[in-house]
Structure 1
Amino acid sequence: MGPVVNPSPGQRWTFADYAALAVLVAAAGVLFFSGLSWRSLWGSEGRWAVIAREMMLSGNYFLPTINGVVYFDKPLLSYWAIVPFSLFSGVTEMSARIPNVLAGMGTVAIVFAIGRGLFGLTPGLYAGLVLLTTAMFGFWSRTASAEILNVLAIWSMLWVLQGRGPGRPFHRYLFFYLIAAVSSFCKGPLAPAVAVAAVIAVNCVEMVWDIRQDGFGRTRRKVTEHFDWILSQKGILAAVCGLALFALLLFLPVIMTGSREAVELMWRENVVRFLEPFDHVEPFYIYFKHIPVFLIPWTFLGIGALIHMKRWGGGPERRWLATVTIAIFLFFTLSGSRRSYYILPLIPAFALIIGRSLAGFLERERENGSPAMKTALVVTAFIPVIAGVALVAGYFGFEAYRHFSEVIAGPVIVAAGVAALFFIVRRMFVPGSTLLVLLFFGILLWTFTAGTLIGERGRGLKPFAHQVASRIEEVSRESVAMYGVGNSSFLFYLDRKSPLRALSDLREVCSFAGGSGRHLVTEEAFIWGIEKECGPRAFERVLSESPGGGKKRRNDLVLLVAPKGP
């Protein structure tokens, strides 16, 4: 699995390094781009797609709107990132997701560079392979949002300041602060806050280590050396440049629109939410539940790798990685606002830990006797076997989700999984581990292509929106409205050039029903209230997101039409 050449950390990059990087980036590109447009928008993806489209239609790139209503929920750059990929074909599912795909590929490259810088070529390569085959990282790298842009920014900042600093060139400090400034306008100042917290934690740990080794002599000089990124002349100058760019990006929307909403958003969404969360409140221990899920299929190997860290030996490399991992975890745990995907920046840290532990287990004599790593590899090898059996069972047991690829891929995955398990049990760890990586890559590739097509069979929003668009094409603007619809993806697929009228309460709905031929889009959850308030004959159900007698969900959309008079 590992290349023969394994240069020491810190050496100049060789052809082997660049070749490994090219393989990782190419593999990530194949995996993340495959079937990218086959899945219809889901969840909050619609917001990014609609806002980018309305920016392009209006020509106003400083005032994000959804259905013509100002929507300052996130800073502007994550919306702007979609625009260059939409110039020729308009905003599509693919163009809305491309920024995150590129960010995912960039994060894989950064993780390789960090792993190589800390431990050498082979651990860096393993870390990159683990990261790109981690299911949730791949999923979010193919999702229109600001999440992976945030992850890329955090790890880029950590990479730029990797290693001790008085000898760093000025451009490293400058890149650190410029990345901090720009990333503040993707998802707010979260990325620089996390990166700075991790850097401070590393500096403090190294300070304590130096004091333990050398005593308190020359403490002032040690502080300056460790915190050079903010205390040296180069660091201060770079920080001023970063602050200038931050101020420009912060106040430019205010200057262009005359509205202070962008500044208020920055304060509310990042400072207030961290200290006094007003939503997404979960228990402080919730990330202990989410992390194992977000590491699938490498969860068990992640546990084994953590146990194996004690065999690495001492050194600043292990301290750096352990400190960064703990700092990121504590940052999100101490925040009162918690959601599962907030922990995404921790996945690259675990990929680095797994990559280093796996490389040591496979290639270093004093580490290859680790029972934790062997047990973790054996358990991990069962995952593709189970996945292959599930594919075959799905083909024969669930007719609605039957696809010919299941009976082709399933047996192949089972056979390859059994082979990987055989190799690992027989202590042939290198071919066994190589086969596992290839299997997980193949399973994800199937999931993002054929699996996506299968999953789309049960989703009716896109065809429903297209049917609605066809029915209301010749209807006047005043005769079409929506009530209680919060689904931005519906607005995206409706693809109207002008905003759709939004009714605010049932009184308006009943008044709207007074005109014959009026079309109203609403959710199943509001049907009972409309019928009670306006009468059972005020509207007729014409279209539903769950047609054919399928099970109705509360948030399924429905098209109602006011009957024409006699």
Structure 2
Amino acid sequence: MRKTLPLQRVSSARELWPGARAALAAAAPLLLLAAAVYLGLFYELGGPPLFDVDEGAFSEATREMLQRGDFVTTWLNGQLRFDKPILVYWLQALSVTLFGVNEFAFRLPSALAGLGWIAAIHAFARAQYGRATGYAAALIAATTLGLCVIARGAIADALLNLFLALTMFDIYRYLVQPRVRYRNRAYLWIGLGLLTKGPVAILVPFAASGIAYALHGQWRRWRRAVFDPAGWLILGAVAGPWYVLEYLREGDAFIAGFFMRHNVERFMGPLQGHGGKFFYYVPVVLLMLLPYTGLLLRTLPGLLRLRSRPLDTFLWCWFLFVFLFFSFSGTKLPHYLMYGITPLFLLMASHRQQLASRWLAFTPPVLLLAIVVALPHALQRAAPALRDQYFRDMFARADVFGPLWRLAAVCLLLAGLALALWPRARIWPRLLASGFLCSFAVVGLVLPAAAELQQGPVKEAAQLVRSARLPVRTWQFNVPSFSVYRQAVTKPATTLHPGELILTRSDKLAGMGPAEVVYRKGGVVLARIPM
């Protein structure tokens, strides 16, 4: 018996292996998607300083909300802020209450919204196209440049895109199977979108779906759904209370600030200098869908068969409406196109096996990785030639791109080239692997470096002022993240007074007159006006 026991064990192992292998194969796509989501949305989420003016503005408005105990009206550096509705501030306030005043807490609601957005894409694509395409659509979304950047920002756009996707998916379900629950659920998502970013949450679903329904002879069904009283009651119950409360508090200032300035005026003309030509969004869409730009180009001929099937019609109408509407808008910002990017994830996933050209597939990711490798050298070369002292000082910093950063960039490029040149291997799996490489290059290298260049010195200066408990004002420098890191409202100065401490840019220093520089780094200056 003892001699046969090892043979029995081997036999049992052989019997178990096929089942274990099948279970592993079944779980592999989910594990791959989980890895993509973690890398794209949550890896080092709280590492880089608050990025750009928008992250700082949202975060400071949330901090002041908690400080004031006012959960209806938002303020920024002591001034009323009517830029966006309230929902994202509530979510950020909850996150900050749980995790403290830090970058991770401010960004977590966006990352979770990005997770929900990807999950919604997976569920819808799986139901419409099958299991494999469902995972492919979700993986494309999770490793695409545009989604990764938007969903890592302490702003409202990831949350809005989640609600837009949920709305449009239920509107399509209602097109093919007119059940009341789909219609009512769509109004619920619209209400939450209206509470996140305003009228765009109504405009995109109504207009895009109206065109798609009309093309398939379902205009009457669309009209009945749009004028459904129950739906509007749901929408009003979700979004109405805050809008009413805010109007009762602030009156016409709310109408003028939110609806007129930040909605109507944005469309009528360039707001805050954010203008562009009519074809502004052509290069934007190519960049946002990196590293899958070649797959997008292979998918575009589907436009010639716009009415071939209801789902393709619906998805193309969704994208094209957003693309054309914001092309006509006076104010142009790259993230506006994200409102119509979700249908492209599904269309590209459904056409992934048709991409037969290795050069079309791998030229975009290899170029992106090559640009990452060249970035430190390019900035160092460009800095001395810049006329603006602030940007010259910012880009001249050599401490941001260390040896490990450069080594990692080169390794990613070599890995990308190996995937591109790998003979006799299917294109789609290699392209997806390139997506992981590019995702790490962006979230692990480029974004931290860019945030450090732009906001690292701001954070240092704020912490210096906070530790010394010094009063400070800003001079011709819009940098709300300074108030977040200082954890105090920082008012702008209109006139300079002897003895006060001023935060400004290096290109504004000469215009201040004689001043004692207390701190200077990367174009950010703390200076004291002499007595």
TM over 0.5: yes
TM range (shorter): 0.7 to 0.9
SS in 2 for 1:520: strand
1:87: how far off? 0.8
Contact 1:48 1:144 in 2 (8 A): yes
Match of residue 367 from structure 1: none
Say yes or no: does 1:315 pair with 2:309. yes
SS in 1 for 2:123: helix
Structure 1 segment 89-488 matched on structure 2, within 5 A: 89-165=99-175, 167-207=177-217, 223-230=219-226, 235-255=228-248, 257-269=249-261, 271-273=263-265, 275-279=267-271, 280-307=274-301, 314-359=308-353, 361=354, 373=357, 375-380=359-364, 382-383=366-367, 386=370, 400=399, 401-404=401-404, 406-407=406-407, 410-411=410-411, 414-415=414-415, 417-423=417-423, 426=424, 428-429=425-426, 432-455=427-450, 458=453, 459-471=456-468, 473=469, 475=470, 480-488=472-480
1:206: how far off? 0.7
Contact 1:203 1:227 in 2 (8 A): no
Match of residue 530 from structure 2: 562
- Cα distance in 2 for partners of 1:437, 1:521 equals 45
For residues 261-290 of structure 1, the C-alpha deviation after alignment (integer angstroms, 9 at most, x for no partner) is 333333214552255225233222211122
| Alpha-carbon spacing, 1:138–1:544, altered in 2? closer, same or farther (3 Å) | same
1:29: how far off? 3.2
- What is the one-letter code of the residue matched to 1:407? L
Contact 2:95 2:105 in 1 (8 A): yes
In structure 2, list runs of 5 or more residues that go unmatched: 1-23, 382-396
- Cα distance in 2 for partners of 1:173, 1:332 equals 26
Contact 1:29 1:105 in 2 (8 A): no
1:468: how far off? 2.4
| Alpha-carbon spacing, 1:252–1:67, altered in 2? closer, same or farther (3 Å) | same
SS in 1 for 2:351: helix
1:469: how far off? 2.4
SS in 2 for 1:559: strand
For residues 432-467 of structure 1, the C-alpha deviation after alignment (integer angstroms, 9 at most, x for no partner) is 421331232133225423555555654422112212
In structure 1, list runs of 5 or more residues that go unmatched: 1-14, 208-221, 362-369, 547-551
SS in 2 for 1:74: coil
| Alpha-carbon spacing, 1:61–1:258, altered in 2? closer, same or farther (3 Å) | same
Match of residue 391 from structure 2: none
- What is the one-letter code of the residue matched to 2:309? G
Match of residue 516 from structure 2: 540
SS in 2 for 1:521: strand
- What is the one-letter code of the residue matched to 1:245? V
| Alpha-carbon spacing, 1:382–1:86, altered in 2? closer, same or farther (3 Å) | closer
Contact 2:292 2:365 in 1 (8 A): no
1:520: how far off? 2.8
Match of residue 506 from structure 2: 524
- Cα distance in 2 for partners of 1:92, 1:23 equals 30
For residues 181-206 of structure 1, the C-alpha deviation after alignment (integer angstroms, 9 at most, x for no partner) is 22112221112211211111111111
- Cα distance in 2 for partners of 1:70, 1:501 equals 13
Match of residue 88 from structure 1: 98
| Alpha-carbon spacing, 1:335–1:22, altered in 2? closer, same or farther (3 Å) | farther
- Cα distance in 2 for partners of 1:123, 1:64 equals 42
Match of residue 47 from structure 1: 57
| Alpha-carbon spacing, 1:284–1:562, altered in 2? closer, same or farther (3 Å) | same
- What is the one-letter code of the residue matched to 1:288? V
- Cα distance in 1 for partners of 2:315, 2:490 equals 51
1:32: how far off? 0.8
- Cα distance in 2 for partners of 1:254, 1:17 equals 53
For residues 72-111 of structure 1, the C-alpha deviation after alignment (integer angstroms, 9 at most, x for no partner) is 2222222112011111343311111111111211221222
Contact 1:389 1:414 in 2 (8 A): no
1:245: how far off? 3.2
Identity %: 21
| Alpha-carbon spacing, 1:420–1:258, altered in 2? closer, same or farther (3 Å) | closer
Structure 1 length as normaliser, TM-score? 0.77
Alpha-carbon RMSD across the aligned residues, in angstroms, is 3.3
For residues 46-71 of structure 1, the C-alpha deviation after alignment (integer angstroms, 9 at most, x for no partner) is 11111111111111112211222222
- What is the one-letter code of the residue matched to 1:286? Y
Contact 2:110 2:153 in 1 (8 A): yes
For residues 478-526 of structure 1, the C-alpha deviation after alignment (integer angstroms, 9 at most, x for no partner) is xx44333321011111223xx345432x3xx1xx21xxx4323333343
| Alpha-carbon spacing, 1:557–1:168, altered in 2? closer, same or farther (3 Å) | farther
Structure 2 length as normaliser, TM-score? 0.81
1:376: how far off? 2.0
For residues 346-367 of structure 1, the C-alpha deviation after alignment (integer angstroms, 9 at most, x for no partner) is 32222222111114x2xxxxxx
Contact 1:522 1:558 in 2 (8 A): yes
1:249: how far off? 2.3
Contact 1:131 1:351 in 2 (8 A): yes
Match of residue 37 from structure 1: 46
- Cα distance in 2 for partners of 1:159, 1:16 equals 29
- Cα distance in 2 for partners of 1:94, 1:72 equals 25
SS in 1 for 2:216: helix
- What is the one-letter code of the residue matched to 2:246? P
- Cα distance in 2 for partners of 1:17, 1:277 equals 52
Contact 2:111 2:151 in 1 (8 A): yes
1:147: how far off? 1.6
Q: Which moved more, 1:383-392 or 1:403-412?
A: 383-392
